[in-house]
Amino acid sequence: MTSRSLLGRLARMTTLPSRLGQRLGLLDHIPEGLAPGAAPPRHTFRWDLDKTYLRTEFDSLGDLARSAIETAADKRAYPGASALLRALRQDGHRICIVSGSPTQMRQVLAAKLALDGVAYDEFVLKNNLKNLLRGRFRSLRAQIPYKLPAMLQSRIGAAATAETLFGDDAEADAIIYCLYADLVAERVTLADLERVLIASRAYDDDAARILDLARRVPKQDAVNRLFIHLDRRSAPVGFRHYGPRLVPVFNYFQAALVLYADRVLSARQVIFVALEMLDSGQFELGHLATSVQDVLRRGRITRDVALELVAEAREAALSGALSGRDDLPPFEDIAEAFRERVRELGPIEPPQQEPTMPLDYVRLVDEEHDHRRVRRRHGH
């Protein structure tokens, strides 16, 4: 045996326990940052999985058991989510996934993402087995002490000049994402953060680690947009106090519309999201037109942007974006129907203004805990 092959075997032997420990959930998976000399990403997109990307039920023990035994082929993504993630995967963009699913599900979840053609740069799961073994029962349901440090650690490893975050209304994603955005923009002080961590009942060593990460994270007003997928069909008005950067959406066509207005997506990419939704059998063209009206009525995009999208989508259709789609009406008919929906819409809310007062995160965390207790009493 040559010295080179011996060294290779030794290297594999030393990494095997680490990989096995991560797979069993005995060791934390540490996301890899940028390679030495690599350029920082221009735009990072951070996604939750359950109820944001995947249709997942975990309100009961039965739900959790079913989710645990599902194969990759059993799991279902929300219509349009896969197409949107694929569209966001561009040069200079970074895809980071932070999920509350247990680390033991890494293999099946990674397989599901591969089936959907979704590539990513980071994939962090929650190490609840480690929490159980350490007797940290509060950590099993805790969201802020888990997701916030994961995002801070990720940004320390690869700081983008722009970030867009995707979550849902099932947990505390709106609070966590806004807190993260305000921390990296230096709108929340370390003293404020310490009070929030006390309110969230973080363990002392977890709180100390989060405070250290918050000190070291590269500071910039980087978070341009936050999307909350309304899995529980929460009323969008309930999120107004978070300000205009947070957009509640009922589906991913609405998210694509806002990202088009933000100049993140092209009209062609919006078409691909729409086509995936139509192909799911859960949406028709009328549903998509209603989705346009909804974001218009809420002031999330303007009439001019909507009409501009129709015009650019026409150019994309002429260049082949709808080739082979004989199941659809001629694009001119689709475009005219959408333009008519825009024209017939009544009064539109003015663009939402920034909050005059900073968010009271301690109060928001206390309210979230109260809401969770009420839901548990009612069996949710």
pLDDT tens digits along 199-255: 999 999 999 999 999 999 999 999 999 999 999 999 999 999 999 999 999 999 999
More reliable by pLDDT, 96 or 373: 96
What was the pLDDT predicted at 52? Answer: 97
Judged against a pLDDT cut of 90, whether residue 18 lies above it is answered with no
pLDDT in tens, 329-364: 999 999 999 999 988 887 787 777 777 789 999 999
Confidence bin at 37 (pLDDT 50/70/90)? confident
């977890």: which residue's tokens?
206
Residue 82 has pLDDT above 50, yes or no: yes
Token look-up 């979230």 returns: 368
- The answer on pLDDT for 100 being more than 90 is no
Q: Average pLDDT for residues 310-314, to the nearest whole number?
A: 94
Give yes or no for a contact between 80 and 251, defined as CB atoms under 8 angstroms apart.
Answer: yes
Which range, of 133-147, 165-179, 242-256, 263-277, averages the lowest pLDDT?
133-147
The pair of structure tokens assigned to 329 is 């009406």
Helix or strand holding residue 246 (H, E)? strand 246-249
Angle at 28 (CA atoms; ends 126, 152), nearest 5 degrees: 70
Rounded CA-CA distance 87/75 in Å is: 21
Q: Return the H-helix or E-strand segment holding 168.
A: strand 162-168
Q: Hey, which of 90-99, 142-151, 173-182 has the most confident mean pLDDT? A: 173-182
Question: Could you tell me where the beta strands, DSSP code E, fall in 215-340?
Answer: 223-229, 246-249
Tell me which CATH code domain 41-249+355-380 carries. Answer: 3.40.50.1000
| pLDDT value at residue 11 | 44
- Global pTM reads 0.88
pLDDT for 129 equals 78
- The whole-chain average pLDDT of the chain stands at 87
Phi, psi of 12 (to 5 degrees): -65, -35
Q: Which residue in 151, 193, 184, 182 sits closest to 48, CA to CA?
A: 151
pLDDT in tens, 131-164: 677 666 565 667 899 999 999 999 999 999 999 9
| Residue of 5 and 217 predicted with greater confidence | 217
SS3 283: coil
Amino acid, res. 16: L
Mean pLDDT of 97-113: 92
The edge-to-edge listing of strands for the beta sheet with 223-229 is 122-126, 93-102, 43-47, 162-168, 223-229, 246-249
| DSSP single-letter state for residue 330 | P
Q: What is the mean pLDDT of residues 37-46?
A: 92
